[in-house]
Amino acid sequence: MSSEHEQWMKMASPGAHHEILKRMEGTFDSKAQFWMAPGTPPMDSTGRMVNSLLLGGRVLEHRYKGTMMGSLFEGWGSLSFDNISQTYTGVWMDTMSTLLQVHTGPVGADPNVLDLRGEFTLPMGSIKSRHHTRVVDRDLMVFEIHQARAGQSEALIGRIEYTRTKG
């Protein structure tokens, strides 16, 4: 086997940074709060997220079902780590839009925290978005959505606690 092939195989194999994906695998109940504007009362919602490892542990698929603003809500996404660029990439799409969101971010100082950023155009204009995930332990994750519209400061617009289902 050539050294180039060996290097390719090494870079194509899941490594230490894929371990967080393994910790996030499973079925989680969610309790969420979303704010339509800073200082307004939050809207509460619940749901269930099923996270499955695919492609030999290279990508984590998310499948979410729950409620949002009194209606059924469904979402799909993925989270992966690229050994070459040393970045995480999160993809998300749900029944609240036709937009495919992509957030990326480097490895941080704390391997249990992912801080991914993206920028999108929505009906209300351009939005800078930050997805902050903290894997507290095997049974609890906290996910926050921060957004900034043009000319405005970043604000927390959503917070979801994911608790591993028992049984």
SS3 content of the chain, % helix, strand, coil (to 5): 15, 60, 25
- pLDDT tens by residue, 56-76: 999 999 999 999 888 899 999
In the structure, how many helices (H) and strands (E) does the chain have?
2, 10
- pLDDT tens by residue, 149-163: 888 899 999 999 999
| Rounded Cα gap, residues 140 and 143, in angstroms | 10
Strands 101-106 and 59-68, sheet pairing: unpaired
Q: Total structural domains in the chain?
A: 1
| Rounded Cα gap, residues 122 and 127, in angstroms | 7
Domain that holds residue 127: 3-164
Looking up residue 157, the CATH number of its domain turns out to be: 2.40.128.20
- pLDDT tens by residue, 33-49: 999 887 899 999 999 99
pTM confidence score? 0.91
pLDDT of residue 167: 65
